[in-house]
Amino acid sequence: MSFLLGLTGSIGMGKSTTAALFTEMGCAVWDADAAVHRLYETGGDAVGPIAQLFPDAIVDGAVSRDVLKRIIGQSPEALKQIENVVHPLLAEDRRQFREQATSDILVFDIPLLFETGGDVAMDAVACVFVDAMTQRSRVLARGTMSEEQFEQIRSKQMPIDEKIERSDFVIETDTMDHARAQVSEVLTKIRVRIANA
């Protein structure tokens, strides 16, 4: 039985980088965003059901995230309909990953882990964080969203203080070396816990 570690944090806090560090240190990582991309690409399991709901969202045989964003912007109930399609497919993707992965520690990189109640399925949760100024500058430096879009995403996420309070481990991603040292420490603690179980 593998140990299930949820990895979460708010936008721009360094979650993807931290997930890569867990991979580097021998953990198998399931990435919720990557799984959504697989479901949306040509031949993906979400294409058919979303085509039935919103035919306009299908571009070149794949689900266009940009079109979906526009649809959700125009009709808030569209989000619920999309979630009703995507969440069960994601759960199935995650289940297959769990069955196939062989690492002693499986990491689940899920941005909205607490918001969706996914934390209850985990043995422990690690939360990444960085100060608000660094978070903002990282997100805006990507050049993929406006300040308004950033604030909109942030408003849908649980406040970082609350995420930290509910987590078993906290990883500050101020520098790469500091993050790497903390990931190593988290894995050591978990492996001690596994050995003593």
Q: pLDDT, tens digit, for every residue of 13-49?
A: 999 999 999 999 999 999 999 999 999 999 999 999 9
What share of residues in the chain are helix, strand, coil (percent, to 5)? Answer: 60, 15, 25
Question: Are residue 128 and residue 193 in the same domain, yes or no?
Answer: yes
Question: Are residue 10 and residue 73 in the same domain, yes or no?
Answer: no
Owning domain of residue 135: 1-27+105-197
Q: What is the pLDDT of residue 73?
A: 85
pTM: predicted TM-score of the whole model, two decimal places:
0.90
pLDDT at 4 over 90: yes
Please say which residue of 73, 102, 131 terminates a domain.
102
Q: What is the pLDDT of residue 90?
A: 94
Using pLDDT thresholds of 50, 70 and 90, give the confidence band for residue 153: confident
User: For the chain, what is the domain count?
Assistant: 2
Q: For 156-188, what is each residue's pLDDT tens digit?
A: 889 999 999 999 999 999 999 999 999 999 999
Please say which residue of 61, 77, 102 terminates a domain.
102
State both tokens at 91.
């759960």
Question: Are residue 51 and residue 88 in the same domain, yes or no?
Answer: yes
Question: Are residue 92 and residue 118 in the same domain, yes or no?
Answer: no
Question: Are residue 110 and residue 96 in the same domain, yes or no?
Answer: no
Q: What CATH number does the domain containing 147 carry? A: 3.40.50.300
Own/partner pairs for 84-87, CB < 8 Å, 24+ apart?
85/46, 85/49, 85/50, 85/53, 86/36, 86/39, 86/46, 87/116
Question: Are residue 5 and residue 58 in the same domain, yes or no?
Answer: no
